[in-house]
Amino acid sequence: MTITAEITAKDVCYQYTNSSALALNNINLTIKPGEFVAIIGPNGSGKSTLAKLFNGIFLPTKGDIFVNGLNTKDKDKIWEIRQKAGMVFQNPDNQIVATIVEEDVAFGPENLGIPPKEIRQRIDEALRTVELTEFANKAPHLLSGGQKQRVAIAGILAMKPDCIILDEPTAMLDPVGRKEVISTVNKLNKQEGKTVVLITHFMQEAVCADRVLVMEKGRIVMEGKPREIFSQVEELKKHGLDVPQVTELAYLLSKENVPLPRDILTVDEMVDCLCQLL
Amino acid sequence: MREITIGQYIPGNSLVHRLDPRTKILVTLAYMILLFALNNFYGYIFPVVFLILATILSRISVRYLLKGLKPLIFIITLTFVLNSFMIKGRVIYELGPLDITYEGLVQGAFMAIRLILLITGTSLLTLTTSPISLTDGIERLLSPFKKVGVPAHELAMMMTIALRFIPTLLEETDKIMKAQMARGADFESGNLINRAKNLVPLLVPLFISAFRRADDLAMAMEARCYRGGENRTRLKELKMTFIDMATFAVFTLFAIGGIASRFL
Amino acid sequence: MSIVVKNLTHIYMPNTPFESVAIKDINWTINDGEFWGLIGHTGSGKSTLIQHLNGLLKPTSGEIIIDGKNIHSKEVSLKTIRQKVGLVFQYPEHQLFEETVEQDVAFGPRNMGLPDEEISKRVKEALELVGLPYEQIKDKSPFELSGGQMRRVAIAGVLAMKPQILVLDEPTAGLDPRGRDEILQEIVDLKEKQNLTVILVSHSMEDIAKIVDKLAVMYKGEMVSQGNPREIFKDYQGLVEKGLGIPQVTELMIKLKGKGKNVSTDILTVEEARAEILKTLRRKGLA
């Protein structure tokens, strides 16, 4: 049987025990193998909660989540699910366990009971992918934020997952760190063929995704290709989100009847379009 | 605070660095016992020579090794002074109501040397052994006692995490302290009770942050399939080699020498 | 009130193997009522620099002069300096510790030894300045608030000391776009209402461009340029090499100019870019 869905959410609701409101309200979605899905939304929209349901850290209060066809409610399969769908968290400091980079990357495979020789291979491979080979023997607290997040990504890669879920991996980083992490994430999807779910509130980071989901108040309110989503500037602003400056500029100019496409995402695209006009 | 060398690992590839951590831990323990078994100055020759030998082989600079003594100079001096005054015997100097005795001086010097050897010896262990292999060693050494309920793996994991988060929490302490000082907090003056009270604005945020980190870390560990020590493999397997055996043999010779000196 | 930074150098752990020069020979004058942006890559020395402004760090050499007096001279009390120069750290909500919002905001004024009446007056004012409803929020625990509210309470805690100079280290870090815009707007309003001098540390060139009057750039411990943001953002290449960027719209205009288009590059905001492009199009009779 070929698996047609990496992750499926079916009528999923989630409610925190100390809250009366639903954090997630009837979510239905399917993420295909090899797909890169970005989930954006303001704080409190439920996007992080959803991510935590994807690998069984939280269980839905209603509905079901399937990872690779396995229900996250199935207690016997939970470790398999977590190995298949690895998770990178927001705070780079709070997810690194060991005092040496390579020991930390080894943590996952060690938990899976992989033989030492193979762990070694997996570490080397994972560190190469995130371009941190020369940092293998460094102490994590001496690394920059962007580097720490890449160590965390390597730690997940070493478990050989099919899918990587990143829960606001750039929220606490500076612009340089953000770029490092996003280019690594793109590489995971394009070169390593991993399914990627990226949670973020920076629109620019969703540009390379195959599909963007916009969440607000526990619901998916917009869905589509990045260009389709970003061209709806007013709709996005209504949901408390932001678009790249050039996208907003293109939107404002086209309102003045300047013949510009509305789905401009980068400075260079804008330069090309304007050059033909000016 | 940052000057304390105890527990600070200096990476290297010397003979001593490459020893199995279990060897180093066991030899250090035996070395400590030996120090307490000695009863005269001649006996010190054996641990001293052993320590010098180990230091040379470790290629750790003597200056660095001795730096470990710095924060403990006070305790060493106190030991020496107290002994000098407390022991009854031939008085060689009177200082008001206190007498310094010959026996006291001898005993004080004896104790001070023991302390110095104890500290430099254990520093050598931590200077040449990374925290992680130290924990590994302790875990392996304790694992035979698992059957009687010693949580060897859990203890080792706790130590690893503590070591990992010490720098992070030190940084955080510094930051919160400064943030409160910017709001006029005073951590440096006042009597003992006031000072303790003034620590509240530092300790409360620090604890809250530590708990939040602990929560996050637990979640991250579970997400990486951590479920205790059962069926876990390790990246680095510990193996005793010829040089470990040789180390035990050499130390045994020194220990016999030391014990023999008791009967001089 | 003005701050003059003169030949300031700070070396961490001097005379040890861990010695490192954090900032080197900084000269900087902040005049009354100015709104400064301070930018620089991580580790460029921004944090070290701002911690000197209220005497949290002591210079290795050089001096900080506030109102004509060196703040580390005997006649100056650091406590007064810290009241005059309010410093809001990054993620300031991490410093909250009291049982109620009111008590937490009162911590600063209480340390100043003010009478109770004055303290409650200031707490109320400060909370209102950051847009929080005093009556509804004062008895709540700061830890049951939302992230954005906690940050506001922490900022109020500094404002309640009535500083004349307010230094904010990345006040929008970790917030979503709406939260970010709200906080930035509040800072702008605050500056106007309270007639404050403000120094804003930020990684977002877009935010900086929108609100500051003057800009200082740090690179590897040195202050490499200071002055008008419009002038500084003209050096696109130079800033990129320093691990920084410029606002997207400024980059756009510079690139258009590079392609031989007759446009002004003196553009900092989307609104300015819109006007400039429309003007150029009209000149050509195209729109």
Q: ipTM, 2 decimals?
A: 0.91
Chains A, B: CB pairs < 8 Å: 99
C238 touches chain A (CB under 8 A): no
Based on the fold, state whether residues C22 and C149 are members of the same structural domain. Answer: no
pLDDT of residue C196: 93
- C257 and C236 within one domain: no
A35 and A111 both lie in a single domain: yes
Using the Cβ of C209 and the Cβ atoms of chain A, whether some distance falls under 8 Å is answered with no
In chain C, how many domains are there?
A: 3
Query: What backbone torsions phi and psi does residue B60 show, to the nearest 5 degrees?
Result: -90, 135
The CATH number given to whatever domain includes residue A68 is 3.40.50.300
Asked if C97 has any chain B CB less than 8 Å from its own CB, the reply is yes
A183 and A250 within one domain: no
Q: Does C272 touch chain A (CB under 8 A)?
A: no
> Which domain, by its residues, includes C121?
98-163
Interchain contact, A176 vs C42, CB within 8 Å: yes
Is B232's Cβ below 8 Å from some Cβ in A? yes
Residue A3: the pLDDT is: 59
The answer to the question of residue B163 being in a domain is no
Measured between alpha carbons, how far apart are the two ends of chain C, in Å? 49
The verdict on a CB contact (< 8 Å) between A278 and C284 is yes
| pLDDT of residue B4 exceeding 50 | no
To probe the interface with C, which of B5, B183, B200, B211 has the most C CB atoms within 10 Å? B183
Joined tokens for residue C214: 């003057």
Give chain B positions within 8 Å (CB) of C79: 184, 186
Query: Which chains, if any, share at least 3 CB pairs under 8 A with chain B?
Result: A, C
C227 touches A: beta carbon within 8 Å? no
CA–CA distances in Å: residue A185 to residues A9, A130, A153, B149: 23, 9, 9, 44
d(Cα A235, Cα A252) in Å, to the nearest integer? 14
Q: Answer whether A267 sits within 8 Å of C252, measured CB to CB.
A: yes
- A258 & A224 share domain: no
Distance CA(A202)–CA(A198), nearest Å, equals 11
The DSSP code for B207 is H
The answer to whether C42 contacts chain A (CB < 8 Å) is yes
DSSP string, A33-65: TT-EEEEE--TTSSHHHHHHHHTTSS--SEEEE
User: What pLDDT does residue B2 have?
Assistant: 41
Query: Measured between CA atoms, how close is A179 to chain C, in angstroms?
Result: 11
**Chain A residues within 8 A of C255 when measuring between CB atoms:** 267-268, 271
Chains near C with 3+ CB pairs less than 8 A apart are: A, B
Please indicate, yes or no, if residue C143 is contained in any of the structural domains.
yes
Residue predicted with more confidence, B3 or C221: C221
The answer to whether residue C93 sits within a structural domain is no
Token look-up 């510009």 returns A260
User: Are A275 and A221 part of one and the same domain?
Assistant: no
Mean pLDDT of C214-223: 95
What pLDDT, on the 0 to 100 scale, is given for residue B132? 77
Of C176, C243, C270, nearest to A43 by CB-CB distance is C176
B142-156 pLDDT, tens per residue?
Answer: 988 888 888 888 998
Locate the chain A residue with the closest alpha carbon to B132.
Answer: A99
Give chain B's domain count. Answer: 1
Is C267 strand, coil or helix? Answer: coil
Q: Is the CB of C247 less than 8 angstroms away from the CB of A245?
A: yes
- Kindly state whether residues A253 and A173 are assigned to the same domain: no
Over chain A (278 residues), what is each successive 10-residue block's mean pLDDT? 77 91 94 95 92 93 94 94 95 92 95 95 97 92 93 97 95 91 95 95 87 95 93 90 90 91 89 89
Q: Determine the average pLDDT of the residues in B30-45.
A: 92
> Are residue C149 and residue C203 in the same domain, yes or no?
no
Which of B225, B231, B239 should one mutate to test binding to chain A, selecting the residue with the greatest count of A CBs within 10 A?
B225
Which residues from chain B sit within 8 angstroms of residue A152, using beta carbons?
A: 220
Which residues does chain C have within 8 Å of residue B3's beta carbon, measured at their own beta carbons?
16
Where are the extended beta strands (E) located within A152-235? Answer: 163-167, 195-200, 211-216, 219-224
C211/C102 same-domain check:
no
> Are C173 and C72 found together in one domain?
yes
Do A99 and B160 count as a contact with CB atoms less than 8 A apart?
A: yes
Name the residue facing B184 among C94, C95, C108 (closest C-beta).
C108
Q: Can you tell me the distance from the alpha carbon of A47 to that of A207, in angstroms, rounded to the nearest whole number?
A: 18
Count of the separate structural domains present in chain A: 2
Measure the N-to-C terminal CA separation of chain B; round to a whole number of Å: 44
Residue carrying the six token digits 């390790």: B234
- Do A88 and A225 fall into the same domain? yes
Residue A75 DSSP symbol: G
Residues A265 and A195 placed together within one structural domain of the fold: no
| Confidence tier at C1 by pLDDT (50, 70, 90) | confident
Q: Best of C202, C206, C252 to disrupt the A interface by mutation (most A CBs within 10 Å)?
A: C252
* CATH number of the structural domain spanning residue C219: 3.40.50.300
Do C110 and C228 fall into the same domain? no
On whether any CB of chain A is under 8 Å from the CB of C252, the answer is: yes
Residue B135 is assigned to a structural domain of this protein = no
Band of the pLDDT at B104, cuts 50, 70, 90? confident
Is residue C28 in a domain? yes
- State whether residue B167 sits within 8 Å of chain A by CB: yes
Closest partner residue to B175 (CB to CB) among C83, C89, C143 is: C89
C121 and C14 housed in the same domain: no
> CA of C135, closest CA in chain B: separation in Å?
23
Say yes or no: C132 and C109 in one domain.
yes
Asked, for residue A2, whether it belongs to a domain, the answer is no
Question: A50 and A184: one domain?
Answer: yes
Interface of C with A in 71-130 (CB under 8 A): none
Percent of chain C clearing pLDDT 70 (strictly above): 99
Instruction: Please report residues of C whose CB lies closer than 8 A to that of B2.
Output: 13, 16, 18
Of C51, C86, C94, the CB nearest to B205: C94
- Asked whether residue A239 is domain-assigned, the answer is no
User: For residue range C138-174, what is the model confidence (pLDDT) as tens digits?
Assistant: 999 999 998 899 999 999 999 999 999 999 999 999 8
Q: Are residues C194 and C65 in the same domain?
A: yes
Q: What is the pLDDT of residue B5?
A: 41
Record: contact B184-C97, CB cut-off 8 A: no
What pLDDT shows up at residue A2?
54
Same domain, C217 and C107: no
Helix (H) / strand (E) containing C12: strand C3-12
Mean pLDDT, range C29-51, rounded to an integer? 94
Tens-place pLDDT, residues B53-101: 999 999 988 888 887 788 788 888 998 888 888 888 888 888 777 788 8
B187-236 confidence digits (pLDDT tens): 887 788 888 888 999 999 999 999 999 999 999 999 999 998 888 888 88
pLDDT at A5: 76
In the numeric block, which tokens belong to residue A154?
């390597």
* Domain residue limits at B19: 1-129+237-264
Question: Mean pLDDT lowest for which of A210-219, A232-241, B173-182, C211-220?
Answer: A232-241
Within 8 A of A176 by CB-CB distance, chain C residues are 41-42, 243
Q: Evaluate whether C25 touches C222 at the Cβ level (below 8 Å).
A: yes
Q: Does B185 touch chain C (CB under 8 A)?
A: yes
Closest-CA residue of chain B to A120: B235
| pLDDT for position C19 | 82
In this structure, the answer to whether residues C155 and C195 fall within a common structural domain is no
Q: Assess whether A248 and A138 both reside in one domain.
A: no
Q: Please name the member of C147, C178, C252 whose beta carbon is closest to the beta carbon of A246.
A: C252
* Res C190: pLDDT: 92
Residue numbers in B near A120 (CB within 8 A): 235
pLDDT at B6: 43
Domain extent, residue A254, equals: 244-278
Residues 122-141 of chain B with CB under 8 A from chain A are: 130-132
Q: Residues near B94 by Cβ (< 8 Å), separated by ≥ 6?
A: B100
Q: What is the mean pLDDT of residues B159-165?
A: 87
B178 touches chain C (CB under 8 A): yes
- Domain presence at residue C48: yes
Q: Does B162 touch chain A (CB under 8 A)?
A: no
Contacts of B176 in chain C (CB under 8 A): 94-95
User: What pLDDT does A1 receive?
Assistant: 44
Out of A43, A256, A278, name the one closest to residue C179 (CB).
Answer: A43
C203, C262, C286 ranked by CB distance to A277: nearest = C286
Tens-digit pLDDT profile for residues B110-141? 999 999 999 999 989 988 988 778 888 998 99
Distance from CA of B171 to the nearest CA of C (A): 13
* Own/partner long-range contacts of B184-189 (Cβ < 8 Å, ≥24 apart): B184/C79, B184/C82, B184/C83, B184/C107, B184/C108, B184/C111, B184/C112, B184/C161, B185/C107, B185/C111, B186/C79, B186/C111
The reply to whether C111 falls in a domain is: yes
Q: Decide: helix, strand or coil at residue A96.
A: coil
A1 assigned to some structural domain: no
Is the Cβ of C51 closer than 8 Å to some Cβ of chain B? yes
C161–B205 C-beta distance less than 8 A: no
Q: Do C104 and C156 sit in the same domain of this protein?
A: yes
Say whether both A254 and A225 belong to one domain: no
Residue A93 and residue A121 in one domain: yes
Whether C186 and C171 have beta carbons less than 8 Å apart is answered as no
Average pLDDT of the segment spanning C60-74: 93
Arithmetic mean of pLDDT, C25-29: 96
* C82 is a domain residue: no
CB C118 within 8 A of CB C109: yes
Q: Is C144 on the interface with A (CB under 8 A)?
A: no
Q: Which chains touch A (3 or more CB pairs under 8 A)?
A: B, C
